[in-house]
Amino acid sequence: MKDPSMREMVRGQQKAAINMMYSGFFKELNLSSEEKEKLSGILTDSQLKNIEHVQGLFGEQKEGAGEDTQKLVEDAKKQTDAEIKALLGDERFAQYEDYQKNLGDRMQLDQLKTHLEAQNLALQDQQMTQLLQIMKEEKAAVPPVIPSDASQVPKNMKALMTSENLDKQMQWMDDYNRRVFDRAGQILSPEQLKQYHEFQDQQSAMQKFGLKMAREMFGAGNSGNTPAAPPGK
């Protein structure tokens, strides 16, 4: 993003998204307004760098370009982690890393909470905590084919996103959702459980659409270890 006005617009959008994604973490750590603003800025800048690096991943077709981009992503993560650790200290940084590992699940639960509140079936804090624990346990028992841990950078994203792996990820998602749903019946009321089932179906449809888009973006038309290169831009 070379256009300063475009970059500033995207930065504003990303900062709003970051504040929403990490709102629970900000509350959990009881951050001061200054700490919250600094952390939000670090995370926003990190997200912008990731966007630019991903654009480089798809836009460059020179030999070794993918490896160079991968190193940029890894170096940027190290720098971001160092800045956050300097701001939060060791103990709170460990809490940040734990929050990162389950960021996707936390966001999904926040959406579920909003959905159930609209149906006058509000989730209690204890139910939220128990559902998150179930999600953690089921992912630990059978890890996803494509890692969902936001605190980790896959070593070779292009090699990981093969057609075969994307198909396996879709199958894993169906199995994971079933296992979580079965255990959720011990926590949710019958009315909440019914709504959760519908919510899962909606989330699954969106996630599968995202995987299909990834198949096109990464040119994963074959099941080999190295996907076909996407057309040059």
In whole angstroms, give the CA distance from residue 118 to residue 138.
28
Shared domain for 128 and 46, answered yes or no, is no
Shared domain for 124 and 192, answered yes or no, is yes
CA dihedral 188, 192, 198, 199 (to 10 degrees): -80
Note the pLDDT of residue 152.
65
Domain end position, chosen among 54, 74, 101: 101
> Which tens digit of pLDDT belongs to each residue from 53-101?
666 554 544 445 556 667 787 888 899 999 999 999 999 999 999 898 8
Q: For the chain, how big is the Rg over CA atoms in Å? A: 19
Shared domain for 167 and 203, answered yes or no, is yes
Is pLDDT at 161 greater than 90 in this prediction? no
Shared domain for 18 and 31, answered yes or no, is yes
Q: Quick check: pTM over 0.85?
A: no
Q: Report whether 152 contacts 81 (CB < 8 A).
A: no
Mean pLDDT of 194-209: 94
The parent domain of residue 43 ranges over: 1-101
Count of domains forming the chain: 2
> Which tens digit of pLDDT belongs to each residue from 88-122?
999 999 999 989 888 989 999 999 999 999 999 99
Domain end position, chosen among 101, 134, 157: 101
Shared domain for 220 and 113, answered yes or no, is yes
Shared domain for 79 and 170, answered yes or no, is no
